[in-house]
Amino acid sequence: MAFTFTAVYQEAEEGGYIGFVEELPGAITQGETLEETRENLQDAIALVLEGNRILAEEALKGQKAIREPILLQPVSGLRIGSVVIRCYEFDRMRAFWQEALHYVPRAAATGGWVILRDPQGRGPNVSLDQAPEKRTGKRSSLHLDLYTDDQAGEVERLIQIGAKRYPWRYRPGDDFVVLEDPDGNLFCVVQVRGDA
């Protein structure tokens, strides 16, 4: 679950822009254009968070402490809990999605149903629901977009564990590659910058 920060941008007297994050002191940057400043601010946020983590680790050296991930809940309390995929090739799908996302089962699969969870608690669950017959006809209108900053590497890794390239008609500038999982469901591997 991503946390939304508030970015503030101002025109600089000497030209260009200054950008900072209201909720995160120290996350400040500048750029010649607004777009460059936005990109630089992503890096500034990552640097401040990583710097704070390192400072905390150093301050806690030799002390007893419990460190664990914390999930920030949205104000509304509503979030995606699980993406459910109906599938015929249940065992192959379970193995594929576990390896693809590095997820683990929340509990043992029973009756053709399993919930795979992110062990870090950052992403929504992926649940597999076994269908009695293989899907026929049109493609599903739902698909997953998997974000990565190493698209080529991830596409090859996913193909090695059972995905197939789908013959999509790409347009110039498309930032995604369409693949099929072992049950024929389409999903996209999207090139993003950093942890977008």
Please check whether residues 93 and 55 belong to one and the same domain.
no
For residue 45, the tally of other CB atoms under 10 A from its CB is 20
Q: Evaluate if pTM is beyond 0.75.
A: no
Domain assignment of residue 48, given as a range? 1-77
Given a contact cutoff of 8 angstroms between Cβ atoms, the answer to whether 15 and 21 are in contact is: no
Question: Looking at the domain assignment, is residue 196 inside a domain?
Answer: no
In terms of domains, do 151 and 112 share one?
yes
pLDDT tens digit sequence for 83-139 = 989 899 999 999 999 999 999 999 999 999 999 999 988 889 999 999 998 877 777
Biggest CA-to-CA distance, the chain = 67
> CA 96, 97, 99 angle in degrees (round to 5)?
70
135: domain CATH number is: 3.10.180.10
